[in-house]
């Protein structure tokens, strides 16, 4: 039986609220000081420019530290692969 995972050799985890340079080009995916790209924009970049497919969407937690306390907040994550 064929699944969407067949033939996938390489995966990338994308996180909402976290910016990263694209692994394949100089495009900055995700938010930084000048770009407000959300998780959907990150996914779209890999799908449209590098032929990835969306394999998984879920949630994780990120930890913030304000100098005194650690707080956790949920973030959306997505796994793309090809
Ligand atoms: Zn790229």
pLDDT given at position 30: 61
Ligand 1 centre to CA of 18 (Å) is 16
Reference 62, options 45, 46, 40, 39; nearest CA is 39
pTM: 0.79
State the residue for tokens 């949630």.
59
Reference 15, options 71, 81, 74, 72; nearest CA is 74
Residues with CB under 5 A from ligand 1 (ion): 22, 24-25, 27, 49
Ligand 1 centre to CA of 24 (Å) is 5
User: Tell me: the pLDDT tens digits for 4-54?
Assistant: 899 999 999 998 877 778 899 988 776 665 554 578 888 999 999 999 999
């Amino acid at each position: 039986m064929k699944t969407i995972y067949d033939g996938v050799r390489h995966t990338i985890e994308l996180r909402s609220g976290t910016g990263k340079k694209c692994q394949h080009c100089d495009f900055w995916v995700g938010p930084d000081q000048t770009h407000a790209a959300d998780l959907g924009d990150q996914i779209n970049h890999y799908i449209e420019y590098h032929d990835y497919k969306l394999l998984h969407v879920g949630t994780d937690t990120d930890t913030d530290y304000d100098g005194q306390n650690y707080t956790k907040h949920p973030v959306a994550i997505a796994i793309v692969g090809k």
